[in-house]
Amino acid sequence: MNTLSSTPPDIGIHPSGRRLPATTHLGRVRLAVSSLERSLRFYTEVVGLQCVQSDARHARLAPQGSGNVLLELELSPGVQPIAPGSRLGLYHTAFLLPGREYLGAFVRHLRQQGVPFGAGDHIYSEAIYLTDPDGLTVEVYADRERSNWQFEGREIVSATNPVRLQDLTALSGEPWRGAPSGTTVGHIHLYVGHLDQAAAFYHQALGLDLVTWRYPGALFLSAGGYHHHVAVNSWAAGSPAASDKEARLLVWELVLPTPEDVARTATRLHATGFQQSSRIADTVIFGDPWGIQVALKSQVAQN
């Protein structure tokens, strides 16, 4: 019988080919929205990002006091909101705060604003869940120290337990001043049609390690032993993929250290039967089996 441990093992199941570098992380997320004004209000006034650039159809948002764009909103003609969980594609974009005290301040902010939210303690993190005006879920979370994570063999243990909100909000009396500098897109979670097909793309072809595989209906994947940069679930299996007339994820970025890492990853995706859908300068974009677009770019190009 497997026993729980807080001592990190050689984490996860590695792909049979080349693994992604340990410093791989997420970049920007781009969404198609039905109302730019309404979405901007939500992501600035509720989530706490700041708009650093906008025009009639586009907006770019970053943490407070930072130019590091995390979210791009695109107004597309005819796009309509969707019912949560009704389409394959985005489950949630997850914004990682730099400390638990900020998450506590965020909870107080939501209560003061009367914004409904859900919460889950995943052992390695505590998370708050919201729904944006188009029916897309947003997670705002903070990690626990890795010494507090739990393992069964090589697998990171995940759960969805109640969050002790009173303890969280007591960590600091500082008011919420918006998503602080240092906030990042920590991970992205996707609705997919079949877990085996998702593993073939994200694990074997893309090169992420499979780090949690016994959570019901979901797989969690990462680089460098993180609890997850990407999660996929089959909870909406049988639903159609979001169409070009619906609010949806347009593309998300996976940032690798060098252009050579991007080229090697693209070569592996091609070799395993996945076709590049487009290329913009040094960024290459691939679609998964459900048309979910991931843009591979390098940290060098990003800087």
Q: What pLDDT does 268 receive?
A: 96
Give 66-116 pLDDT, tens digit per residue: 999 999 999 988 999 999 999 999 999 999 999 999 999 999 999 999 999
Give 183-216 pLDDT, tens digit per residue: 999 999 999 999 999 999 999 999 999 999 999 9
What pTM was estimated for this model as a whole? 0.95
Give 123-154 pLDDT, tens digit per residue: 999 999 999 999 999 999 999 999 999 999 99
Percent of the chain residues past pLDDT 70, beyond the cut: 96
Mean pLDDT of 271-277: 91
* Residue owning tokens 């500082």: 174
At 124, which amino acid appears?
Y
Q: Please, which pLDDT band fits residue 17 given cuts at 50, 70 and 90?
A: confident
- DSSP 8-state symbol, 44: I
Give 213-238 pLDDT, tens digit per residue: 999 999 999 999 999 999 999 999 99
At 162, which amino acid appears?
P
Q: CA 227, CA 19: separation in Å to the nearest integer?
A: 16
Q: What pLDDT does 277 receive?
A: 87
Q: What pLDDT does 72 receive?
A: 98
Q: Considering the domain 4-302 in this protein, what is its CATH number?
A: 3.10.180.10
Spatial strand order in the sheet of 118-121: 118-121, 125-131, 137-143, 89-96, 184-191, 230-233, 218-222, 209-212
Give 251-267 pLDDT, tens digit per residue: 999 999 999 999 999 99
Sketch the domain layout of the chain as residue ranges.
Answer: 4-302
Using only C-alpha atoms, what is the Rg of the chain? 19
